[in-house]
Amino acid sequence: MSNPAARSGVALQPAPLETLAIPAALDGRTGSNRAIGGHAQIAAANDLEAIQAWLARFADKPATFDSYRKEAERLLLWSLVQPGKPLSSLTHEDLLVYQHFLVDPQPAARWTADGGRKHPRNDPRWRPFYGPLSASSQRQAMVILNVMFAWLVQAGYLAGNPLSLSRQRARRARPRIVRYLSPELWLEVKTYIQGMPRETSREREHHGRVRWLFTLLYLGGLRITEVGTNTMGRFFRRGDENGQERWWLEGMGKGGKERLVPATAEMMMELGTYRRARGLPALPSPREDTPLVLPIGQSLRPLTRAALHRIVKDVFSGAAGSLRPRGDDHALRADRLEQASAHWLRHSAGSHMADQQLDLRLVRDNLGHASLTTTSQYLHVDDDRRHRETDEKHRIDW
C-alpha cells in the first residue's frame, strides 16, 4: 500500500514549520482526536496553528522555545510522512511506534543531517535529526510532547492526550551525570586546543577565540545560550569583606533567573589576553556591549548559538581525530569525545569542582541551580567565600 502522505501530495522531504505546506487532508481540521463541542480556548483551526499557539507561550525564552519547537516539529513531520495522518489523529499506538523511530530515524537520508551537522533552518540540507537519539534524549522528547498534548487538551483543541496512557517514570534514571569529560579526556581537549595551528593571523584569531570560549564554558560553567546573549560589560568587580577586589560575571540563567558567576583570576587573565589580541583594552568597561565571543575579523556582532555550538563540536571532533591514530585502545575515548557538546563542559565543570572538594552548595550556586540573593550581608559574605574557594580549587591550567 502506498504512503497516504505521498497520495496527499506531502513532500517526502521534511521541512521546517515556517515553510511547511500541509494539504487540507492532513492539516488536522477533521482529525479524529479533535475536541467536538464545548468552547475552544485557542483560535487554531488546524494542527500547525495549534502547535504555534502552544509555542508562542515560550517566545520570551529562546532556549526553551527552540527545544520545544524541535520536538513538536519532529513529531508533526513524522506524522505526516510516515503514518500519513494529521497530528490530531495520532493514537497511543502511533506514539509507541514514534518512540521506536527516535532510537534511529530511518531512512537517514530523509531524516538525518549529513554528517550530523546542524544546518540553518533555511538551508536545503536541513533535517529534523542529527542522528540517533540517546535514551535520555528520547525520554526528554516524550516528556515535552506530553506537555504539548496535555496543553492542547486543556485548550479545548484535542479530545484526549494519546500519551497519557504511557507508563510514566517506569524506571527512575540513575541520579548521576554521565555526559561529562573525565579529567584525562579534558586534558586531551586542552592539549588539542594548544596544538591548533597559529601560522596565519586568522588561525591565531581562531585559536584565541576557541581558548576563550572553552575557558568561559568550563571555568564559568556557562550554558552556550548564556555565552551568546551576554556581553563583556556584564563583568564587574566589588570588594569582599577584606577589601580585596574580586571580579564577577552577571548573567541570565535558565528560567530567566539572574546569577553571579565568579570571574576567577585565571578567567580574567584569559579575558585580558583575548581582548588585547582583538585590539581592545585588557579590562571591559561598565555597560560595554562587546559580545563575550566575537566573530573572526572586524565584526562586533554576537555569534549565534548554532555558530558557538559548531566551534565546540569541531574542537571535540578534532581532538577525537588526534586520539584515533594512537591505536584501538583510544577508540572508545575518541567516540566519547565525538558525542560531546558544549553542555558536557558545564557538567564537567560541576563534576571537577566536586572532585576538588568544593562545597556542593557552592557548586550549585556557581552553576545557577538556585537563585542568589545579594541583599543580605550574610549571603553577600557567602558569595565572597564562594569566589575564594572557586578561585583556589577550580582551574583550567592552560
Question: Which of 254-258, 319-323, 349-353, 362-366 has the highest average model confidence (pLDDT)?
Answer: 319-323
| Residue 245, beta-bridge partner list | 239
Exposure on the CB side of residue 69, measured as CA atoms within 13 A: 19
Is the Cβ–Cβ distance between 322 and 292 less than 8 Å? no
Q: What's the mean pLDDT in 154-158? A: 93
| C-alpha cell of residue 215 | 575557558
Asked if residue 351 has pLDDT above 90, the reply is no
More confident residue, 5 or 93: 93
**The cell 521534511 sits on which residue?**
14
Work out whether strand 245-252 and strand 235-239 pair parallel, antiparallel, or are unpaired. Answer: antiparallel
Q: What's the mean pLDDT in 139-160? A: 92
| C-alpha cell of residue 23 | 494539504
What's the CA gap between 144 and 71, in Å, rounded? 7
Asked if residue 290 has pLDDT above 70, the reply is yes
Cis peptide before 107, with omega less than 30 degrees from 0? Answer: yes
Confidence of residue 113 (pLDDT cuts 50, 70, 90): confident
Q: What's the mean pLDDT in 260-280? A: 94
Residue 235: strand, helix, or coil: strand
Look at the alpha carbons of 112, 117, 120, 124 in this order and tell me if their dihedral is positive or negative: negative
User: Where do the H-state alpha helices sit in 22-106?
Assistant: 47-55, 62-81, 92-103
- Domain extents for the chain? 4-118+125-154, 183-393
Look at the alpha carbons of 351, 355, 360, 363 in this order and tell me if their dihedral is positive or negative: negative
User: How many CB atoms neighbour CB 186 within 10 A?
Assistant: 21
HEC string for 297-340: CCCCCCCCHHHHHHHHHHHHHHHHHHHHHHCHHHHHHHHHHHHC
Confidence of residue 379 (pLDDT cuts 50, 70, 90): very low
166-180 in b/e form (b: 16+ CB < 10 A) is: eeeeeeeeeeeeeeb
Crossing angle for the helix pair 331-339 and 183-194, to the nearest 10 degrees? 80
Residues 238-252 have pLDDT tens digits of 998 888 899 999 987
User: How many CB atoms neighbour CB 384 within 10 A?
Assistant: 18
Residue 339 falls in which region: left (phi positive, over 0), alpha (psi -120 to 50) or beta = alpha
Rg (CA), the chain: 24
Residues 159-195 have pLDDT tens digits of 999 998 765 544 444 445 567 788 888 899 999 999 9
Is the Cβ–Cβ distance between 356 and 394 less than 8 Å? yes
Exposure on the CB side of residue 332, measured as CA atoms within 13 A: 1
At 365 the pLDDT is: 66
Q: Supply the mean pLDDT for the chain.
A: 84
At 76 the pLDDT is: 95
Closest CA to 215 of 163, 254, 141, 270: 270
Q: What is the CATH number of domain 183-393?
A: 1.10.443.10
At 376 the pLDDT is: 30
What's the CA gap between 40 and 6, in Å, rounded? 31
As a whole number of Å, the end-to-end CA separation of the chain is 61
At 20 the pLDDT is: 87
At 362 the pLDDT is: 62
Residue 291: strand, helix, or coil: strand
At 98 the pLDDT is: 95
